Amino acid sequence: MSSYICPGKNYELYLADNLNEWGTVVAKGSFENNAAPKVIKIPEGKEGRYIHFRALSEVNGNPWASAAEFDFKGCYAGLTSTENDWFSKAQLYPVPASEAIHISLQDGQYKYFIFNTSGSLTTQGNILSQEQSVTLNISSFVTGTYHLLAINEKGIQFRMKFVKF
């Protein structure tokens, strides 16, 4: 799993299955003072349900640090090579979009949910993906960032992000 973040300078990262007990640091380091996305590689074999990111210092020596956005990529080791191949074929385009988004998934039945950045459910529905892509109308959505969650009949989840303008 890796995360793309742009916070303070020095950091510690914890993984845990319990919100009250963070355990030991799984990754620590320093970021360069630039706007490029930052990547933290989590050592192999480390896993957890929750992540705790702790900024220890700020790049300019100020008494605060900030984080703009966190993205995570996980390991799909428990899947067969055919199922693992699905992840490389899942796409959502165009980004940004104004009227509609096109979702390209492996053949199958999916239940989808679209959430706004506050976590509120905007819409949901079903997709029978037998074509190259499925088109969803987003013309009524308010301008902003949205997260789409598609779950197939095997319970495999696809998470995609898009911007409505």
The pTM for the full model equals: 0.52
Bond prior to 94 in cis (omega within 30° of 0)? yes
Q: Mark whether 53 and 86 lie in a shared domain.
A: no
pLDDT of residue 114: 96
Q: Mark whether 89 and 140 lie in a shared domain.
A: yes
Tokens 């037998």 found at:
130
Mean residue pLDDT across the chain: 81
pLDDT of 2 strictly over 50: no
Name the residue range of residue 29's domain: 2-73
Domain boundary among 36, 57, 73: 73
Q: Mark whether 65 and 91 lie in a shared domain.
A: no
Instruction: Give the model confidence (pLDDT) of 122-140 as tens digits.
Output: 999 998 766 667 899 999 9
Domain boundary among 30, 55, 73: 73
Q: Mark whether 18 and 44 lie in a shared domain.
A: yes
Instruction: Give the model confidence (pLDDT) of 154-163 as tens digits.
Output: 888 888 899 9
Q: In three state form, how does the secondary structure of 17-54 look?
A: CCCCCCCCCCEEEECCCCCCCEEEECCCCCCCCEEEEE
Written as one string, the DSSP assignment of 53-97 is EEE---TTS-S--------EE---TTS-HHHHHHHHH-EEE-SSB
pLDDT of 112 strictly over 80: yes
Question: Which CATH number goes with the domain that contains 20?
Answer: 2.60.120.260
Lowest mean pLDDT among 41-45, 66-70, 92-96, 107-111: 66-70
pLDDT over 90 percentage in the chain: 27
Q: Mark whether 18 and 60 lie in a shared domain.
A: yes
Structure tokens at 2: 């890796």
Question: Which CATH number goes with the domain that contains 154?
Answer: 2.60.40.3080
Selected residue with higher pLDDT from 80 and 52: 52
